[in-house]
Structure 1
Amino acid sequence: MSGSLFASADGPWAEGLSAGTVLLHGWACAGEIALCAAVEAVLRQSPLRGMVTPGGQRMSVTTASCGDWGWVSDRRGYRYSAVDPDSGQPWPAMPDPLRELARGAAAEAGFAGFDPDACLINCYLPGARMGLHQDKDERDFKAPIVSVSLGLPAVFLLGGLRRADPSARILLQHGDVLVWGGPDRMRFHGVQPVKPGCHPLLGERRINLTFRKAR
């Protein structure tokens, strides 16, 4: 990691949480206008939708994707698809501001060369949550996960390599980017229910961008 992020607590700064996990505080704030505009452009092409788990339970978050691959869930299971099942068309291309953010954040966290081919867009309204899970639908686990928080704050649960391991609670604010990989790549993680609030740019919602190397 470069030393620039550690220079001042007044701007973006990096916090190493463990051997393979780094929290980049405020990393995305400088480009927030372009990021939010890029996300809205994607959602105009591929709107958010509620997905169900293989067990038939409706997820509390709504979801879309961009990039070469999109993540989908239904009664057939969790998987990546090259087309949006709602439209039958390829997912929208990943906008440059999103791809550049993911590449830069990964490099700053020690994972140079990360080139995501999938970006999962999750929208959390107040009360929405994400249960503990592993990101394990990718073809290999050498690439890190880059997770960008926009809008309302949320408490992120970072567990261990087993579901029963205790979880650390990490407050993620607008503009924070969490990167985990290497020995931490398969850690369980989730999000506690988002509390009500209103963000100046995104209103009463939290947008999470999760960048992955799917194939």
Structure 2
Amino acid sequence: MKIINKGGFIWERGLTIGEYIQREYDIEIIVNIRKIWSQKTLTKNMKLKLNTWDKESRSNERFFLDTISGWVGQDYILDEVLLKSPIINDNYFFQRGGTDAKRKITRADETGIETDIIAFDVKTGEKIYLEVMEDNTGYMKRTNKFDLRWRQRGTRSKYSDLMDLWKKGFETYVVILDVQNNGIIFVPIQETKVDIWKYRNPAYEGRLCTKLITDYKKHFKSFKDLGIIA
């Protein structure tokens, strides 16, 4: 889901991407998106924060928009998939995770290992960590593989972060929206195997990734299975 202008239909509520962001995101995000739309430079404070990140040859503006685009994708999966499934929603409640939970850009050194979304079991209160992704091409169904990114100039592995959470006793999943096949893939991180530990993925413009193998059929749930009217 790419944010490139003010338009673009999002959610069944009829909001555009721009309207959704203005309603839900931090004011600094809104100010800087308006600057990009008006072809003006980002604010000084935003540039200072963005300059702490490994942008992998991307401009500040591109990195900023890629980050916001990722947030919108996460919010869509939470609002329109997880919260729309009676099977899931009756048993769990959710909150955004990580340092960007309030939809604010932070410095790179302020990030932790928390996932995009945290679920809580309504009966026990136990935490379940969910790292959210999208597959728009059907790649995972064809190959049984998916990629997790490295961060901080290739020194920090998202796969290792997720495995650390699991080793501490937390259920930890990679949740992948399968756009082509109208469903969600719920992959327990411990049910993956490393195919390639560290490589530059051309599909992500050469960014460093770990390629993992899992069982697509075992972990796929259709929207119908989840009681979601897509």
Fold conserved (TM > 0.5)?
Answer: no
Higher helix share: 2
Higher strand share: 1
Structure with the greater relative contact order (CA < 8 A, sep ≥ 6): 1 or 2? 1
Q: TM-score normalized by structure 1?
A: 0.29
Larger Rg: 2
